[in-house]
Amino acid sequence: MAEDNLGAAAGLANLRAGAIQDVDVEVYAILGQPTMLVSQLLKIGRGAIIELDQSTSDPVEIRVNQQLIAYGEIVTVDDNLGVTITGIVKKQVV
Protein backbone atom coordinates (compact mmCIF):
# COMPACT_ATOMS: atom_id res chain seq x y z
CA MET A 1 0.00 0.00 0.00
CA ALA A 2 2.82 2.41 0.90
CA GLU A 3 4.53 1.52 -2.39
CA ASP A 4 1.37 2.50 -4.27
CA ASN A 5 1.40 5.91 -2.56
CA LEU A 6 5.07 6.41 -3.43
CA GLY A 7 4.44 5.45 -7.05
CA ALA A 8 1.49 7.84 -7.28
CA ALA A 9 3.53 10.66 -5.74
CA ALA A 10 6.40 10.04 -8.17
CA GLY A 11 3.96 10.05 -11.09
CA LEU A 12 2.46 13.35 -9.95
CA ALA A 13 5.94 14.88 -9.55
CA ASN A 14 6.86 13.81 -13.10
CA LEU A 15 3.60 15.26 -14.42
CA ARG A 16 4.30 18.60 -12.71
CA ALA A 17 7.89 18.67 -13.98
CA GLY A 18 6.66 18.02 -17.51
CA ALA A 19 4.10 20.80 -17.21
CA ILE A 20 6.70 23.45 -16.40
CA GLN A 21 9.21 22.47 -19.07
CA ASP A 22 7.29 24.43 -21.70
CA VAL A 23 6.95 27.62 -19.64
CA ASP A 24 8.68 30.66 -21.14
CA VAL A 25 11.07 32.63 -18.94
CA GLU A 26 12.87 35.87 -19.73
CA VAL A 27 16.67 35.60 -19.61
CA TYR A 28 18.74 38.79 -19.60
CA ALA A 29 22.47 39.35 -19.83
CA ILE A 30 23.03 42.83 -18.39
CA LEU A 31 25.94 44.50 -20.18
CA GLY A 32 25.53 47.82 -18.41
CA GLN A 33 22.97 50.28 -17.11
CA PRO A 34 23.76 53.79 -18.29
CA THR A 35 21.80 56.82 -17.14
CA MET A 36 20.64 59.35 -19.71
CA LEU A 37 18.62 62.52 -19.77
CA VAL A 38 15.39 62.45 -21.77
CA SER A 39 16.85 65.16 -24.02
CA GLN A 40 19.78 62.82 -24.83
CA LEU A 41 17.43 59.90 -25.42
CA LEU A 42 15.38 61.93 -27.91
CA LYS A 43 18.53 62.66 -29.96
CA ILE A 44 19.41 58.97 -30.40
CA GLY A 45 19.25 57.76 -33.95
CA ARG A 46 20.62 55.00 -36.11
CA GLY A 47 24.35 54.58 -35.58
CA ALA A 48 24.33 56.32 -32.20
CA ILE A 49 26.66 54.90 -29.57
CA ILE A 50 25.46 54.55 -25.99
CA GLU A 51 28.38 54.35 -23.60
CA LEU A 52 27.89 51.66 -20.98
CA ASP A 53 29.00 51.96 -17.36
CA GLN A 54 30.94 48.68 -17.46
CA SER A 55 34.26 47.58 -18.86
CA THR A 56 34.44 44.69 -21.33
CA SER A 57 36.31 42.71 -18.68
CA ASP A 58 33.65 43.21 -15.98
CA PRO A 59 31.35 40.28 -15.15
CA VAL A 60 27.94 40.32 -16.84
CA GLU A 61 24.82 39.79 -14.71
CA ILE A 62 22.54 36.99 -15.88
CA ARG A 63 18.96 37.43 -14.75
CA VAL A 64 15.91 35.18 -15.15
CA ASN A 65 12.58 36.92 -14.70
CA GLN A 66 14.52 39.90 -13.29
CA GLN A 67 16.19 37.83 -10.54
CA LEU A 68 19.99 37.58 -10.51
CA ILE A 69 20.95 33.92 -10.92
CA ALA A 70 24.52 33.97 -12.25
CA TYR A 71 27.48 35.94 -13.55
CA GLY A 72 29.21 35.44 -16.87
CA GLU A 73 31.52 36.89 -19.44
CA ILE A 74 30.94 37.91 -23.04
CA VAL A 75 32.16 35.49 -25.71
CA THR A 76 31.83 35.35 -29.47
CA VAL A 77 30.26 32.32 -31.12
CA ASP A 78 30.77 32.44 -34.88
CA ASP A 79 29.52 35.97 -35.67
CA ASN A 80 27.25 36.23 -32.63
CA LEU A 81 27.73 37.38 -29.06
CA GLY A 82 27.12 34.97 -26.21
CA VAL A 83 27.63 34.71 -22.48
CA THR A 84 29.50 31.94 -20.72
CA ILE A 85 28.47 31.37 -17.10
CA THR A 86 31.36 31.88 -14.68
CA GLY A 87 29.50 31.72 -11.38
CA ILE A 88 26.11 30.82 -9.95
CA VAL A 89 24.48 33.05 -7.33
CA LYS A 90 23.49 31.09 -4.25
CA LYS A 91 19.94 31.58 -3.07
CA GLN A 92 19.76 33.82 -0.01
CA VAL A 93 17.86 32.46 2.95
CA VAL A 94 15.45 35.06 4.31
Q: Where are the domains of the chain?
A: 25-94
Res 29: pLDDT: 92
Q: In CATH, what class is 25-94?
A: mainly beta
pLDDT digits (tens, 9 = 90+) for 20-66: 778 888 999 998 888 999 999 898 999 998 888 888 788 999 999 88
From residue 63, alpha-carbon distances to 3, 49, 75 in Å are: 41, 24, 17
Res 9: pLDDT: 62
Asked whether residue 17 carries a pLDDT value surpassing 60, the answer given is yes
